[in-house]
């Protein structure tokens, strides 16, 4: 069946939702070739050029397009944390759903005034669906799971295997995400300071992602005397994410997410899918990704001592961690998303 879908989002940035959109287009191309998808961003937050380049890099131009207006009719319109379009759609004869992906409490309060025309609310994980159901018990639309995933099982995902990190003498500890209070890079800096005292000269810190006005990351690094062994990278193109993670793995490094809240934990899922050993905060989203192995690879939120110890453990058990992650990544493959998508479509269009 041919289906025309549009996903609307407030900003085109270098964030997780944009990565999710690209992953979905890849899954549609491989598993549901009858789906044509548009992406509509209310504004360019600095990532639109990179987003469009990723569609081209992954050979998705025949499947997916960026549009600059909603002047056409779709079988389904999905508003991803985009309540700005509610009023426009109230008088339109357009079937739509709402997807809530934000881990910021204040940014999902719009669900308390969800219009009755909304066909369904979709959450990126089972735990987050349960959270939304508890937070917004008066929502009339069904709240369903539309699982996030990593297309590690699609060949095009490995787009830039010819890119490598420099051959550093220290092994890298990677933070890959927005440097704000929710993602909590400060806990990692404190933990790294402890590790450097205990195992001087072994490791370096690699931070990659958008900066935030909440944290002066350069100052925090300098205050701890870590400037000479820390590297700050700007946001990288979407199609280079898997290459960065693979390069850190080949360098004997680890991925760390001290995040205090996630709706799914996409960066962590990408690291696991790349078989990059990881130390993750023990939030629900990360525990879901790790299944029965949470005790091995998580630490209590904000506990810098435990984080330092967990990083050392993961470094010292590098090969065994890769074997575990090879088993775990099958839980968030493209095929899992396709099953959820077809169930959601039946609910929204039925």
**Tens-digit pLDDT string for the chain (350 aa):** 689 999 999 999 999 999 999 999 999 999 999 999 999 999 999 999 999 999 999 999 889 999 999 988 899 999 999 999 999 887 778 999 999 999 899 999 999 999 999 999 999 999 999 999 999 999 999 999 999 999 998 987 865 555 566 778 899 999 999 999 999 999 999 999 999 999 999 999 999 999 999 999 999 999 999 999 999 999 988 888 999 999 999 999 999 999 999 999 999 999 999 999 999 999 999 999 999 999 999 999 999 999 999 999 999 999 899 999 999 999 999 998 999 999 999 888 87
**CA–CA gap between residue 217 and residue 146 (Å, rounded):** 34
**CA–CA gap between residue 166 and residue 81 (Å, rounded):** 38
Nearest-Å Rg of the Cα atoms of the chain is: 20
List the structure tokens of 117: 């025309």
Name residues whose C-beta falls within 8 Å of residue 123's C-beta, 6 or more positions apart in sequence.
Answer: 99, 100, 129, 131, 132, 143, 144, 145, 146, 263
* Residue in the structure block whose two tokens are 């994980």: 125
Q: Please, are residues 19 and 92 in contact by the beta-carbon 8 Å criterion?
A: no
The dihedrals phi and psi of 325, each to the nearest 5 degrees, come to -65, -30
Stated pTM of the model: 0.91
**CA–CA gap between residue 191 and residue 304 (Å, rounded):** 5
């Amino acid at each position: 069946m041919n289906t025309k879908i549009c996903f609307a989002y407030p900003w085109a940035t270098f964030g997780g939702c944009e990565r999710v959109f690209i992953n979905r287009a890849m899954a549609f191309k491989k598993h549901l070739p009858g789906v044509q998808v548009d992406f509509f961003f209310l504004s360019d937050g600095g990532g639109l050029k990179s987003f469009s380049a990723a569609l081209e890099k992954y050979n998705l131009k025949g499947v997916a397009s960026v549009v600059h207006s909603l002047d056409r009719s779709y079988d389904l319109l999905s508003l991803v944390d985009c309540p700005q379009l509610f009023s426009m759609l109230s008088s339109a004869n357009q079937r739509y759903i709402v997807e809530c992906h934000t881990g910021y409490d204040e940014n999902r309060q719009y669900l308390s005034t969800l219009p009755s025309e909304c066909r369904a609310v979709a959450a990126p994980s089972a735990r987050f669906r349960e959270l939304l159901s508890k937070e917004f018990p008066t929502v009339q639309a069904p709240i369903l799971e539309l699982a996030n995933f990593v297309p590690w099982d699609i060949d095009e995902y490995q787009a830039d295997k010819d890119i490598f990190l420099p051959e550093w003498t220290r092994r890298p500890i990677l933070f890959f995400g927005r440097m704000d209070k929710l993602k909590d890079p400060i806990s990692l800096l404190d933990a790294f300071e402890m590790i450097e005292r205990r195992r001087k000269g072994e490791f370096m810190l690699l931070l990659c992602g958008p900066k935030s006005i909440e944290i002066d990351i350069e100052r925090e690094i300098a205050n701890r005397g870590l400037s000479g062994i820390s590297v700050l990278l700007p946001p990288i193109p979407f199609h280079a994410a898997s290459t960065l993670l693979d390069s850190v793995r080949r360098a004997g490094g680890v991925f760390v997410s001290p995040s205090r809240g996630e709706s799914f934990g996409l960066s962590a899922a990408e690291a696991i899918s790349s078989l990059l050993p990881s130390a993750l905060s023990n939030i629900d989203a990360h525990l879901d990704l790790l299944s029965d192995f949470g005790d091995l690879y998580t630490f209590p939120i904000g506990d810098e001592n435990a984080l330092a110890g967990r990083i050392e453990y993961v470094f010292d058990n590098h090969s065994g961690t890769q074997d575990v992650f090879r088993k775990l990544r099958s839980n968030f493959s493209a095929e899992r998303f396709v099953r959820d998508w077809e169930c959601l479509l039946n609910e929204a269009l039925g």
